A and B are shown apart, each in its own frame.
Chain A
Amino acid sequence: MVFSKDVLGMTILLYIFWLLISWSLDWVNLLLGFTFSLFVAIFMAPEIIRAEERPPFLARGFFFLKFVLILIREIIKANFQGVAIVLSPRLRISPQFVEVKQTLRFPVTQALWGNSITLTPGTLSIDVDDRKILIHFLTEEMVTQFPENPVGKALVEFEGRGK
């Protein structure tokens, strides 16, 4: 089925993107943008993230927004920590690899979690699969702090515990 709900949603998203980028309300522009959005969405139909692979972004938008805000706070924290480590005269680091279990169910949230790990203080995701993540830690104390990572908690909240 070519005109599924996913394709329609993708078309609308691409069309909004086109309108914002082109920033004009000329009728040729509007028509051209819609045609291109529709064709791209149809041709890319097998690649579109399907509804069962992600939590409902619209219904749980509040939790997604909370996740983004927490992520930004963690990025800023990570940078000040990075400044403290890099600019101290003696590098006090003890790099190590640790495998950590993960319980997220959707591929989209797993990808978000992997990227968030890279952006939060002192951690770098190296290998991600359904059950575990291989993480490179910069110092010892970050290994002990890791289970209390607020970004991970926000993502679990975003997924919700329904079915």
Chain B
Amino acid sequence: MREILVLFLLFSGVFFFTVGTIGLLRLPDVFCRLHANTKSDTLGVGLVLSSLLLYEGLSSAGVKLIFMIIFILITNPTAGHIVARASYDTIVDWTGQLARQKGGDD
């Protein structure tokens, strides 16, 4: 029974990772790609690590897995935010969207 749940969590995590990667390839520019990546990676890692946690139980490895989930939940959106702000400030404008929004200056 536990193995079924572990496998279910593991494969749904892998599924969200896959969708995030497809989104990374399909969406047009930096910001849209970050949309796909920040969300699906956070849930993907969360699900994969929770499946490992369920498999491992609350041992010394399990506690480390809990900390990994917490830290990834904190750091993943922060990293996405930094990439987004850096590309907003330096204008990596592949689709012309940014220039339209800023009213055409610089």
Chain A residues engaging chain B, CB cutoff 8 angstroms? 17, 20-21, 23, 75-76, 78-79, 82-83, 85-87, 91, 93, 95-97, 114-116, 118-119, 121-122, 124-128, 134, 136, 138
In whole angstroms, how far apart are the Cα atoms of A21 and B40 in the complex? Answer: 28
* Chain A CB within 8 A of B91 CB: no
A86 touching B39 by the CB < 8 A rule? Answer: no
A-B contact pairs, 11 of them (CB 8 A): A23-B60, A75-B46, A79-B43, A82-B23, A82-B39, A95-B29, A97-B98, A119-B38, A122-B35, A124-B34, A126-B81
Q: Which 8 A-B pairs have the closest CB atoms?
A: A23-B60, A118-B77, A86-B23, A115-B77, A136-B31, A78-B39, A79-B43, A126-B84
Please tell me the number of chain B residues within 8 Å of chain A, measured between CB atoms.
Answer: 36
Task: Find the residue from B27, B39, B67, B84 having the highest chain A CB count within 10 A.
Answer: B39
A83 touching B19 by the CB < 8 A rule? Answer: yes
A20 touching B80 by the CB < 8 A rule? Answer: no
Chain A residues in 8 Å Cβ range of B59 = 23
* Chain A CB within 8 A of B92 CB: no
* Chain A CB within 8 A of B7 CB: no
Chain A residues in 8 Å Cβ range of B77 = 114-116, 118-119
Chain A residues in 8 Å Cβ range of B84 = 124-126, 136
B39 touching A95 by the CB < 8 A rule? Answer: no
Nearest residue in B to A125 (C-beta to C-beta)? Answer: B81
Chain B residues engaging chain A, CB cutoff 8 angstroms? 16, 19-20, 22-23, 26-29, 31-32, 34-36, 38-40, 42-43, 46, 59-60, 63-64, 67, 74, 77-78, 80-81, 84-85, 88, 97-98, 101
Task: Find the residue from A91, A116, A122, A126 having the highest chain B CB count within 10 A.
Answer: A126
B22 to chain A, nearest CB (A): 5
Q: A95 and B63 in contact (CB under 8 A), knowing A82-B20, A118-B81, A119-B77? A: no
B20 touching A95 by the CB < 8 A rule? Answer: no
A91 touching B20 by the CB < 8 A rule? Answer: no
Nearest residue in B to A21 (C-beta to C-beta)? Answer: B64
Chain A residues in 8 Å Cβ range of B88 = 126-127, 134
